[in-house]
């Protein structure tokens, strides 16, 4: 799948298989991606602000320039993702969120909606191959 600069905002893509998809610079603000498979996807410059990414697989995805402000990354796998992410400090996750070594993310609020309050990382949000 190739969607360069597509407007996918407010779209329901729950449990979609988007592995190896090229979604460069797509506007996916407020998109529903619960359980979506985005492994090995090219998400360069994608706007995922406010996106629901609960239990999504972002393993080996390229996240260069991705905006995750307000995104819910609970139970996500970003352990082997690459690229520098924008506003990861304004995203949230939970104990099952898999991040690259050394990164930590603040918990989401209990109502499963992203809380605009205190969230953050303990080091720069830059992913790189080990």
CATH topology of domain 1-100: Pectate Lyase C-like (2.160.20)
Cα–Cα distance, 102 to 9 (Å, whole number): 31
pTM: 0.76
The pLDDT, as a whole number, for residue 86 is 63
Of residues 64 and 114, more confidence is placed in 64
Q: How confident is the model at residue 118 (pLDDT cuts 50, 70, 90)?
A: very low
Q: How many residues make up the chain in this entry?
A: 130
Residue 90 phi, psi dihedral angles, 5° rounding: -105, 10
Q: How confident is the model at residue 61 (pLDDT cuts 50, 70, 90)?
A: very high
Nearest to 107 by CA among 98, 119, 123: 119
Ordered by start, the domain boundaries in the chain are: 1-100
Distances (CA, A) of 23 to 20, 40, 61, 82, 87: 9, 11, 11, 15, 19
- At 67-79, the pLDDT tens digits run 888 899 999 988 8
Cα–Cα distance, 128 to 60 (Å, whole number): 10
- At 23-47, the pLDDT tens digits run 888 888 788 899 999 999 999 998 8
């Amino acid at each position: 799948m190739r969607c360069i600069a597509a407007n996918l905002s407010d779209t329901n893509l729950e449990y979609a298989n988007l592995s190896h998809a090229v979604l460069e610079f797509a506007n996916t603000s407020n998109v529903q991606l619960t359980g979506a498979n985005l492994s090995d996807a090219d998400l360069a410059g994608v706007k995922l602000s406010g996106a629901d990414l609960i239990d999504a697989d972002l393993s080996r995805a390229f996240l260069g320039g991705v905006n995750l402000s307000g995104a819910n990354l609970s139970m996500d796998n970003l352990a082997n993702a690459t690229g520098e992410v924008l506003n990861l400090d304004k995203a949230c996750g939970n104990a099952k969120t898999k991040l690259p070594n050394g990164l930590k993310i603040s918990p989401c609020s209990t109502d499963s909606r992203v809380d605009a309050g205190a969230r953050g990382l303990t080091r720069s949000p830059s992913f790189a191959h080990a």
